[in-house]
Amino acid sequence: MIEIVEKILITCALPYVNNVPHIGNIAGSHLPADIFARLCRLAGYDTVFIGGSDEHGTPAEVTAERLGITPRELSDFYFKIHKDIYDWLDISYDNFSRTSIPLHHETTLDFFEHIQKNGFIVENTVRLPYCENCRRVLPDRYVEGVCPKCEYEHARGDQCERCSTLLNPEELKSPRCAICGEEPVIRDSNHLFLSLDKLEPRLREWIESKKGEWTGQVVNMALGWLNEGLKPRSITRDIKWGVKVPLKGYEDKVFYVWFDAPIGYVSSTKEWALNQGEPELWREYWQGDARIYNFVGKDNIPFHTIFWPGILIARGGYSLPYRVAGLQYLNYEGDKISKSKGFGVFCENLPDAGLSSDIWRYYLTLLIPETNDSEWKWAEFQERVNNELVANLGNFIHRSLHFIQSKFDGVVPEPDLSEDDIELLKSTEEFAAQVQELIFDIRFREALRKVFELSDRGNKYFQSNEPWKLIKTDPKKAGTVLYVCANLCYDLAVLLSPFMPKSSAKIFEILNTKPGTLQDVGRQKVAAGTKINRPEPLFPKLDDKKISELKNRTSQVTKYEEMIMGKISYDEFSRLDIRVAEIVEVEPVKGADKLLKLTIDVGGKTKQIVGGIAQQYSKDELVGKRIVVLDNLEPAVIRGVKSEGMLLAAVDGDEISILTPDRDAKPGSKIM
RNA sequence: AGCGGGGUGGGGUAGCCAGGUCCAUCCCGCCGGGCUCAUAACCCGGAGAUCGGUCGUUCAAAUCGACCCCCCGCUACCA
């Protein structure tokens, strides 16, 4: 039983703009949220589906710095890529916002001020690693060093990857900044904390009330956190890129991205309301009795069951999520998707791959990891498309419409309906109800299967009535069969629309009939006498060759960072003073196992540079070698050693090969 | 390491919380036979899992308990 409520707000976890989405991100949140939203609209609910990009935080700041651009430029760049991909995949966001817009900063400040007024903010001093070279407070995992337990040399400040001991940065031996290699110092810094401890009883009560309604994974994970006891959690950071903290002494701090990111749901709804020309309309979704559905990946569950609801309670006057749909992960051919290995299907390649977005949506719907991790397999993709989409659903639609086209001049015939026909036509209402119920219960795969059950039924009906024989013996009866089939096609188009909107629209177009809603299913909306448009197969059959083409094409990893850096002019290139140098002397750098200090002769001028080649080259091998250096690089201090240039080498993972002149070239020779 | 989720015929998946009606569901694939409007479907028949492993509880276990193995996530400043 589904209780009818007016308003539904759907949110999809905001993607972080430091990266580009792959199929796992689509199947894990955008697609399920979209199917849900489309169904809600189809069922007549007042639906708002919002999303946006999460843009603040350390990773974006560091990436931007590395690329020599501002965080905003980085965000602008990635935002567009994300937006284009979601548009292409027909993810029907009513609004896709950004956390960097002023409206969001205002909303975050409003939350903070109320939370503070309500007494849920405390201040504390924390000791944090700080890199004086980068002038940056380092998050735990940006500190590297030697593990105190297993002596692993590349342990991170949060955990040693070899012995998996949990660490804090102060425990590392010879710690260094992961960005520049300098040794960080520990500094005191004041920070604001959200008193989750005070919110615990209310959170517990809320979670308990969802037992049985939500999946076990989501409830248990939340209860796990509650049972361990909630502690105040810091909501500020010592970086620049984010929402400024409006307090004295916090001029150099911003709110923690995890504080402001979920508030982005509210900001995005506000932005939507503004675009609707009704600036206050958002309140009906956040401060009224709308049902709020959050679609998030499993890594995100604690944030949406503890941290974010805690923020909402502390703020006061906002509704808590009605349901947190926590989805699992999508793997690829037996392993995790890996961008660096080019292992997976990367969405930026989809538009040029030559298939309708519906085809991708279809298989990805079957892979929505509702309860378990799922797995993309090309062989299965091919089978599913050919045997189900093409042969079952596509075939029923096409054989029906093609028959009308070729035997009835494209006019839906006048029927003479039997009891059985009427019953069949009416039975689709039940399908519609079941599809709705399944989707509301976050069981998309089963819901889609239900749709196929209907086309299956259509195929059986067509088959057992043999209109291709009746057309010769009893044309009236043949016409009745095709009238029924045309109406089944219509109903299928309605039920298919949340999953495959383009194909659905195409069916309506061929039927020359207005697209319908769930209410129209089973109502014989395709009238006798309708002149249909010329049908054509809805879906392509995929042969082995096509599959391997798709596989090659979609696993390409676009080098976005190179695109951001762009092409440089000859003038810019000519600013680089690259020269041949001869290595005079080689010394190790204390406390660094990768670095060597090289004294070099650059055409009569002697200088020293530091290079990270200690693991690949020995001293003997290097002394006397002619190498290539960037001579006019701004000097830097690396591990306490001055470096006045840069050694050029080919780098491929751990393999390093120093560049040398192919023929005899004097030290100091310019490279151009 | 601790916490949480998961391991069911070739692939996916239901059932497990409330043990028997399950020598286990449904979809796809596979094998054999019929029919043809369609990018062929539909019908009939068939092969295939002792439910991750071991040990227990019970008249009875995929379902409950213990231990073990494997995969995944979280463990609070990466998001």
| For chain A, domain boundaries | 7-110+256-348, 119-237, 375-539, 574-658
What pLDDT shows up at residue A647? 82
**Residue range A202-222: mean pLDDT, rounded:** 85
* Pairing state between β A596-602 and A605-611: antiparallel
Does residue A41 or residue A599 have the better pLDDT? A41
> Could you tell me the distance in Å between the CA of residue A343 and the C1' of nucleotide B12?
22
> Could you tell me the distance in Å between the CA of residue A347 and the C1' of nucleotide B42?
38
Residues 360-399 of chain A with CB under 7 A from strand B are: 366, 370-375, 377, 380, 383-384, 387-388, 390-392, 394-395, 398-399
What pLDDT shows up at residue A533? 94
Confidence of residue A661 (pLDDT cuts 50, 70, 90): confident
Nearest to A631 by CA among A589, A569, A577: A577
Q: How far is CA A620 from the centre of its chain?
A: 50
What pLDDT shows up at residue A633? 80
User: How far is A630 from A628, CA to CA, in rounded Å?
Assistant: 7
Residue closest to B7 C1′ by Cα: A372
Backbone angles phi, psi at A442, to 5 degrees: 55, 45
Confidence of residue A166 (pLDDT cuts 50, 70, 90): low
User: How far is A237 from A300, CA to CA, in rounded Å?
Assistant: 20
Residue A465: CB less than 7 A from any atom in strand B:
no
CA end-to-end span of chain A, whole Å? 75
Q: Please say if the pLDDT value at position A654 is more than 70.
A: no
Tokens of A174: 């010879």
Tokens of A418: 């039997």
* Candidates 2.170.220.10, 3.50.50.60, 3.40.640.10, 2.40.50.140; CATH matching A119-237: 2.170.220.10
Tokens of A185: 């110092």
What pLDDT shows up at residue A161? 65
Residue A139: CB less than 7 A from any atom in strand B:
yes
What pLDDT shows up at residue A502? 95
What pLDDT shows up at residue A422? 93
Q: What 3-state DSSP class applies to A358? A: helix
User: Which distant-in-sequence residues (6+ apart) come within 8 Å of A491 by Cβ?
Assistant: A428, A431, A432, A454, A521, A522
> Could you tell me the distance in Å between the CA of residue A23 and the C1' of nucleotide B78?
21
Residue-wise pLDDT tens digits, A462-478: 988 999 988 888 999 99
* Candidates 2.40.50.140, 2.60.120.10, 3.30.530.20, 2.60.40.1930; CATH matching A574-658: 2.40.50.140
User: Which distant-in-sequence residues (6+ apart) come within 8 Å of A338 by Cβ?
Assistant: A344
Buried b (16+ CB within 10 A) or exposed e, A441-456: bbbbbebbebbbebbe
What pLDDT shows up at residue A591? 66
Q: What ipTM, to 2 d.p.?
A: 0.87
Confidence of residue A5 (pLDDT cuts 50, 70, 90): low
What pLDDT shows up at residue A152? 73
**Residue range A515-525: mean pLDDT, rounded:** 94
> Could you tell me the distance in Å between the CA of residue A507 and the C1' of nucleotide B5?
41
Residues 522-541 of chain A with CB under 7 A from strand B are: 536-541
Please give the torsion angle defined by the CA atoms of residues A420, A425, A430 and A433, in that order, rounded to the nearest 10 degrees. Answer: 180
Rounded to two decimals, the pTM is: 0.84
The CATH code that applies to domain A7-110+256-348 is 3.40.50.620
Query: Which spans in A390-441 are helix H?
Result: 395-407, 419-440
User: How far is A48 from A41, CA to CA, in rounded Å?
Assistant: 9
User: How far is A209 from A621, CA to CA, in rounded Å?
Assistant: 70
Residue A657: CB less than 7 A from any atom in strand B:
no
Whether the domain at A375-539 and the domain at A574-658 fall into the same CATH topology: no
> Could you tell me the distance in Å between the CA of residue A453 and the C1' of nucleotide B53?
38
Tokens of A602: 């650059």
> Could you tell me the distance in Å between the CA of residue A260 and the C1' of nucleotide B67?
45
DSSP state of A44: T
Asked if A359 and A547 count as a contact pair (C-beta separation under 8 A), the reply is no
Contact positions of strand B to protein Cβ (< 7 A): 1, 3-7, 11-14, 26-29, 36-43, 71-79
Residues 617-656 of chain A with CB under 7 A from strand B are: none
Tokens of A30: 């955008």
In order, the DSSP letters of A109-166 are HHHHHHHHHTT-EEEEEEEEEEETTTTEEPPGGGEEEE-TTT--TTEESSB-TTT--B
Confidence of residue A572 (pLDDT cuts 50, 70, 90): low
**Residue range A32-38: mean pLDDT, rounded:** 95
Nearest to A35 by CA among A431, A367, A434, A496: A496
User: How far is A199 from A209, CA to CA, in rounded Å?
Assistant: 16
User: How far is A321 from A166, CA to CA, in rounded Å?
Assistant: 33
Asked if A257 and A56 count as a contact pair (C-beta separation under 8 A), the reply is yes
User: How far is A169 from A177, CA to CA, in rounded Å?
Assistant: 10
Residue closest to B10 C1′ by Cα: A380
> Could you tell me the distance in Å between the CA of residue A56 and the C1' of nucleotide B13?
40
For A340, A551, A564, A651, the CA distances from A559, given in Å and listed in that order, are: 10, 18, 9, 17
Q: Give the bridge partners for A136, in sequence order.
A: A131
- When the pLDDT of each residue in chain A is averaged and rounded to a whole number, the result is 87
What pLDDT shows up at residue A238? 87
The arrangement of secondary structure in A375-539, i.e. its CATH architecture, is Orthogonal Bundle (1.10)
**Residue range A142-168: mean pLDDT, rounded:** 73
Asked if A86 and A238 count as a contact pair (C-beta separation under 8 A), the reply is no
Q: Please say if the pLDDT value at position A627 is more than 90.
A: no
Name the percent of chain A lying above pLDDT 70: 95
Residue-wise pLDDT tens digits, A76-112: 999 999 999 999 999 999 999 999 999 999 999 999 9
